[in-house]
Structure 1
Amino acid sequence: MHDAAPLPQRLDTPVVVVTGAARGIGQAIATRLHRDGYRLVLADVDVARLHATRDALSPAHAAVRADVTEAADLDALAETAVQQFGRLDVWINNAGLIPSGLLTEQNGTDLSRAWHTNLGGTVHGCRAALHHMLPARRGQVINIASLCAVKPLAGLALYSATKAAVVTLSEGLRREIRGSGVHITCLLPYMVTTDASHTLRPRLVPALRPDDVARAVTGAIRRPRPRIYTPPLLGWALTAASRLPHGVRDAVDDVIRMDELALRPDQTGRRRFRRCRTAPKQHGGGPGN
């Protein structure tokens, strides 16, 4: 990652908060937004990698240690953006966890942490951002969900549930604040190749790259929309398929071996990840950030 251009110093340059910014999708979003000239407030629980990401872009950006499961941390994050840069234009709720495998075989503590990170963190982030955006009558909140919200997967039951909840939250908030000048966008990406998705096996189409999601985010900022599927055609196809009878859907899934995505992990990927992993996996998007 290299410094693409000098950071603009104009006071009217938009300010963007990105959670889960130390790696994966969050890091890709930060990199692309930096190149596009935004001022950034980057947040993560992995302080070392967070500062490395910020420093590789520009020390003029802010890097803030924040745990998205703590409402006070995100309130303070929003205050940092306003105090340091004088404004808050876009908030991207990206941080998340991907618990995978049979629900009955997963650790209860890990499941609770994923639930509070994926959904609670999005709730806290929306609330913190809207406290500043609504009085200003401008701004945008972008919530990173997943196509698992419309196509729940075996082995990703809890993850799918949290992302479906993020979609529902986004739609409810959109209706709450209609006419306020603030936009709510929910982005639903397909599987993304990151550390967090190291054991998942893509079906139907190849996994996305983090920059594919980052490109969708910048497009959403330029033209705010309530819901964006990435890739669009797959999103609309899965949404249409969700209306088919359960028996038909199960038969199709069996033919394409959909359950192998999360229930039969890629052991090669697992070994490779264990060799290179140096910090807790935190993502945003899905499955695989």
Structure 2
Amino acid sequence: MNASSSAAPGRELAGPPVAVVTGGARGLGLALAERFAAAGHRVVVGDLEGEALRAAAARLGDDHLAVAADVTRPEDTARLAEAAVERYGRLDVWVNNAGVLADGPLAEQDPGLAAAMSRVNLDGTANGCRAALGVMLPAGRGRIVNVSSLTALKPLAGLAHYSATKAAVAALSAALHREVKGSGVRVTAVLPHLLDTPAGSGLRARPTAALAPERVAGLVVRLVTRGSRRQSVCVPWWAGPALRPAAFLPGVLRDLLDDLMRLDEIALGRDTRRRARYTAELRARYGGGAARPVPAERPAATAGRPAAAGQPAAADQPAKDSA
């Protein structure tokens, strides 16, 4: 099927709007799916196969769709777009939320986990954008939301590779905005502070508490439903005005501010016991590098086939979750 056949420019589409959310089985992704559903959207949740995806399908109900998909595979993100068009006849919103967060000093980090962050956080976002644009550009309408992080503006010790991938997502979003300007498709990057999700477990939130994923999800849905033209949104809102000017300060002053706010403790002072379960999931799927040897076995990639709400997906795999 050619997903781009869903609509011609200017044509009024029947039925409620449709939103695709990647990494939608838990954490911020699940909060986004539930908020979009509550706002009247039909939701297509994409995530790795497993119990989390089955549970998300059951929570959302039969009006919505759960699809087993690995965003690092372009064919899987393409199937997500096709599933939306085949089931609902349209695609209005695409949220690239899937992400992984491996922490620790770069010199000690498992190269397999570092590579996974690049593949999921950046390549997965690019794959999602291409899949969405395949439908949205011919239709002359649509909204892409890319979940970045405040670490794009303030990189953190102990999250060096993660910060780099999220800065890349922000840059991709800004460049893509220019590429599709005037097409009817809008691109927005959302940069949240540390989230209270499995990916953020054990990290020490500073200078403010970790955000509830429902708060960020609510903001994203409001941006979409109100037709906001904002290209970049920080959560909380004051973080952008606070962090962007700091980039122009001399390095010695930036170091002084970091030390005063004890920002290095966010990741370097993490609670490894609280992070143990999430880290074990990451290592089981992506580990195997020389810096920190772990079992090299990797489950076969997900085939990206639909699992209608309430129907079981296949064997369990750790879910991706944005941080």
TM-score (norm 2): 0.82
Q: Which is worse superposed, 270-279 or 109-118?
A: 270-279
Checking the alignment, whether the CA contact within 8 Å between 2:48 and 2:317 is kept in structure 1 is no
- Name the structure 2 match of 1:74: 77
**Displacement after TM superposition at 1:162 (Å):** 0.4
Q: Find the counterpart in structure 1 of residue 313 from structure 2.
A: none
Give the fraction of aligned pairs with identical amino acids, expressed as a percent: 46
> Is the 1:195–1:281 Cα contact (8 Å) retained in structure 2?
no
Matched, 1:255 2:293: no
Structure 1 residue 282 corresponds to structure 2 residue 320: yes
Amino acid across the alignment from 2:321:
H
Distance change (3 Å), C-alpha of 1:165 and 1:59: same
2:187 to 184, 187, 201: 184
Query: What are the Cα deviations for residues 113-156 of structure 1, in whole angstroms up to 9, with x where unaligned?
Result: 11100000000000000011000000010000000000000000
The match for 2:196 among 193, 197, 217 is: 193
What is the rounded CA distance, in whole Å, between the counterparts of 1:230 and 1:241 in structure 2?
Answer: 17
Residue 102 (str. 1) matches residue 94 (str. 2): no
CA distance in 2, matches of 1:209, 1:150: 20
* Structure 2 residue 25 is matched with structure 1 residue 22: yes
Q: Which residue of 1 aligns with 2:123?
A: 120
CA apart distance, 1:274? 8.2
Is 1:146 the counterpart of 2:154? The answer is no
Show CA shifts across 1:241-279 (max 9, x none). Answer: 122111101011111211000011124523686899996
> What is the number of residues matched between the two proteins?
276
Matched, 1:220 2:258: no
User: Partner of 1:5 in structure 2?
Assistant: none
Letter in 2 for 1:25: L
Q: Which residue of 2 aligns with 1:41?
A: 44
Distance 1:264 1:243 in 2: 27
Contact 1:138–1:180 under 8 Å retained in 2 = yes
Task: State the partner residue of 1:162.
Answer: 165
Q: Which runs of 5+ in 1 are unaligned?
A: 1-9
Matched, 1:244 2:249: yes
- Cα distance in 1 for residues equivalent to 2:246 and 2:155: 12
8 Å Cα contact 2:21-2:44 kept in structure 1: yes
Cα distance per residue 1:157-184 (max 9 Å; x no partner): 1111001101110111100111000000
The farther-off stretch of 144-153 and 47-56 is 47-56
Please say if residues 229 and 236 of structure 1, whose CA atoms lie closer than 8 Å, have aligned partners that are also in contact.
Answer: no
Aligned partner of residue 238 in structure 2, secondary structure: helix
- Give me the whole-angstrom Cα distance separating, in 1, the residues matched to 2:249 and 2:256: 11
Contact 2:25–2:319, Cα closer than 8 Å, also in 1: no
- Structure-2 residue corresponding to 1:135: 138
* CA separation of 1:200 and 1:46: change in aligned 2, threshold 3 A: farther
Rounded Cα–Cα distance in structure 2 between residues aligned with 1:234 and 1:125: 27
After TM superposition, give the deviation of residue 31 of structure 1 in Å.
Answer: 1.0
Secondary structure of residue in 2 paired with 1:42 = strand
Matched residue, 1:233: 238
Q: Distance in 2 between matches of 1:22 and 1:276?
A: 15
Structure 1 runs of 4+ with >6 Å offset: 272-278
Aligned counterparts of 1:254 and 1:275: Cα–Cα separation in 2:
31
Cα distance between partner residues in 1 of 2:281 and 2:65: 27
Task: Give the C-alpha shift of residue 200 in structure 1.
Answer: 0.7
Distance 1:19 1:274 in 2: 20
Letter in 1 for 2:75: A
Q: Aligned AA for 2:256?
A: A
The DSSP-based 3-state class of the residue aligned with 1:232 is coil
SS of equivalent to 2:24:
coil
Residues 274, 122 of structure 1: CA spacing in aligned structure 2 closer, same or farther, 3 A cutoff? closer
- Contact between 2:196 and 2:211, CA under 8 Å: does it hold in 1? yes
AA aligned to 2:177 is R
Displacement after TM superposition at 1:96 (Å) = 0.2
Query: Structure 2: any 5+ residue segments left out of the alignment?
Result: 1-12, 283-315
What do residues 84-126 of structure 1 show as CA deviations (whole Å, max 9, x unaligned)?
A: 1000000000000001100111111111111100000000000
Q: Give the SS at the match of 1:133.
A: helix
